[in-house]
């Protein structure tokens, strides 16, 4: 009897693994699709220089992480990043922003900032030059807070913590070794609630959309000796992986990036969010042109025979939003020009149909808005 029960348990367990084997198959198919899409990229001509980096990164300072500065620098170099924006948790007895990475290290520009909490629980990413970004907008309460420049419309941690832990456990067993980055694609969702709050706020303020990698390098299981040396274990979110998932692409007329230029471009909204996990988003442009001027993301332009122009690196599905509502949804585009007849706040989301067919609707690019006045 015991033998029959054991066989039945084993059979049930094996049958239960079929969905996870299929999910691994989808990741293999997704990986091949991304390679193919990257091979189809076209070059976009622009007068601006594009720099890519990550926002919302923590080290051993302020707790919640044991990540070292060397780990962060090496991960940024491995991802060929131009910048990393550090946002250390605050401490009562010392200034973590002053102590974290700043300036250029290993050819990467680092900005030193904090993740700070207000009395009501609202959290802001506070950066030099009085730049501040709403963190975790779904939980943010006081949208009348003065001096806010941006909104973290997507946060990796917020997204992944919604994952079913049982599903995640078996996905890790099946797929982590082969697809440590793409594993996150199974759980990545459009940040609809955060985007809704951002769209509402854009009705009365100019706010830059940013991504939040929320990198801690603290998720996993490990066995360590008394000296802290890792003997065995698995790390699910090393910085090198975290830095591949989503990035901020900054556009500036500077040929060499420094902290002043980076913070000014971020504050002005001269940037876009690229989920580079699905392929390099470099080369995306969203511009407006009127009879008398030409503007880009984050800028304001007069309604004067105004046209919006979108260019994507590969054939994509483009959604154009006006004041938070979709007014265009068209697939197979690498370029699209739209005549504007009404004032409003216009922004773009870009999707990859080949990716959607495998794992569903996942934004590839989220632009910053152009304000038609």
pLDDT digits (tens, 9 = 90+) for 21-38: 989 999 999 999 999 999
> Does residue 225 surpass a pLDDT of 80?
no
Which tens digits make up the pLDDT trace of 346-359? 999 999 999 999 99
Residue 272 confidence (pLDDT): 98
Residue 165 confidence (pLDDT): 83
| Residue 122 and residue 145 in contact, taking contact as beta carbons nearer than 8 Å | yes
- DSSP label of 50: E
Please name the helix (run of DSSP H) or strand (run of DSSP E) that holds residue 30, with its range, or none.
helix 18-39
Residue 17 confidence (pLDDT): 79
Measure Cα distances from 180 to 110, 277, 337 in Å.
26, 11, 38
Q: Rounded to whole angstroms, how far apart are CA atoms 78 and 76? A: 5
Q: Sorting pLDDT into bands at 50, 70 and 90, what band is 224? A: very low
> Does residue 8 surpass a pLDDT of 90?
no
Q: Average the pLDDT over each of 16-20, 52-56, 320-324, 369-373 and give the range with the smallest value.
A: 16-20
147-150: long-range contacts at Cβ-Cβ below 8 A with a sequence spacing of 24 or more? 148/124, 148/205, 148/207, 149/207, 149/208, 149/266, 149/267, 150/207, 150/208, 150/209, 150/210, 150/266, 150/267, 150/269
Calculate mean pLDDT across residues 10-16: 71
Q: Please indicate whether residue 73 or residue 233 has the higher confidence score (pLDDT).
A: 73
Residue 229 confidence (pLDDT): 53
DSSP reduced 3-state for 66: coil
**Quick one: which of 253, 262, 269, 297 has its CA closest to 129?**
262
> Does residue 293 surpass a pLDDT of 90?
yes
Residue 232 confidence (pLDDT): 44
Q: Is the pTM of this model over 0.85?
A: yes
Residue 223 confidence (pLDDT): 41
Residue 7 confidence (pLDDT): 76
The rounded mean pLDDT for the chain is: 90
Measure Cα distances from 285 to 49, 279, 289, 347 in Å.
12, 16, 13, 11
Residue 220 confidence (pLDDT): 52
Q: Please indicate whether residue 47 or residue 208 has the higher confidence score (pLDDT).
A: 208
Q: Average the pLDDT over each of 11-20, 134-143, 180-189, 306-315 and give the range with the smallest value.
A: 11-20
> Does residue 189 surpass a pLDDT of 70?
yes
Which tens digits make up the pLDDT trace of 146-173? 899 999 999 998 888 788 888 888 888 8
**Quick one: which of 103, 105, 114 has its CA closest to 73?**
105
Rg of the chain, C-alpha, whole Å: 22
Which tens digits make up the pLDDT trace of 89-145? 999 888 999 999 999 999 999 999 999 998 888 999 999 999 999 999 999 998 888
| Residue 55 and residue 85 in contact, taking contact as beta carbons nearer than 8 Å | yes
> Does residue 58 surpass a pLDDT of 60?
yes
- How is the chain split into domains, by residue range? 6-372
């Amino acid at each position: 009897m015991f033998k029959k029960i054991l066989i039945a348990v084993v059979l049930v367990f094996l049958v239960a693994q079929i969905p996870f084997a299929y999910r691994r198959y989808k990741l293999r198919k997704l990986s091949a699709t991304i390679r193919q899409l990257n091979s189809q990229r076209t070059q976009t001509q622009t007068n601006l220089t594009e720099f890519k980096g990550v926002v919302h990164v923590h080290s051993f300072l302020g707790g919640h992480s044991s990540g070292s500065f060397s780990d962060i620098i090496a991960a940024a170099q491995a991802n060929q990043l131009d910048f990393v924006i550090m946002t250390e948790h605050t401490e009562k007895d010392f200034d973590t922003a002053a102590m974290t990475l700043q300036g250029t290290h290993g050819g990467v520009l680092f900005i030193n900032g904090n993740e700070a909490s207000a009395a009501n629980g609202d959290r802001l990413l506070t950066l030099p030059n009085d730049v501040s970004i709403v963190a975790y907008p779904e939980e943010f309460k006081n949208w009348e807070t003065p001096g806010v420049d941006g909104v973290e419309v997507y946060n990796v941690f917020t997204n992944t913590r919604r994952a079913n832990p049982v599903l995640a456990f078996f996905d890790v067993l099946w797929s982590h070794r082969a697809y440590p980055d793409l594993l996150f694609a199974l759980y990545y969702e459009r940040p609809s609630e955060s985007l809704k709050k951002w769209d509402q706020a854009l009705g009365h303020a100019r706010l830059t959309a940013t991504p939040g990698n929320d990198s801690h390098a603290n998720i996993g299981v490990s066995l360590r000796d008394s000296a802290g040396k890792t003997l065995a274990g698995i790390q699910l979110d090393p910085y090198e992986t975290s830095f591949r998932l989503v990035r901020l692409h900054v556009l500036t007329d500077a040929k060499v990036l420094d902290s002043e230029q980076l913070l000014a471009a971020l504050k002005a909204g001269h940037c876009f969010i690229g989920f580079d996990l699905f392929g390099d988003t470099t080369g995306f442009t969203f511009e407006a042109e009127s009879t008398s001027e030409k503007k880009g993301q984050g800028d304001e332009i007069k309604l004067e025979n105004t046209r919006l122009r979108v260019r994507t690196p590969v054939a994509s599905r483009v959604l154009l939003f006006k004041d938070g509502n979709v007014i265009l949804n068209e697939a197979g585009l690498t370029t699209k020009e739209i005549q504007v007849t009404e004032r409003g706040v216009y922004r773009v989301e870009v999707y990859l149909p080949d990716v959607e067919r495998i794992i569903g609707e996942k934004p590839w690019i989220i632009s910053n808005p152009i304000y038609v006045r």
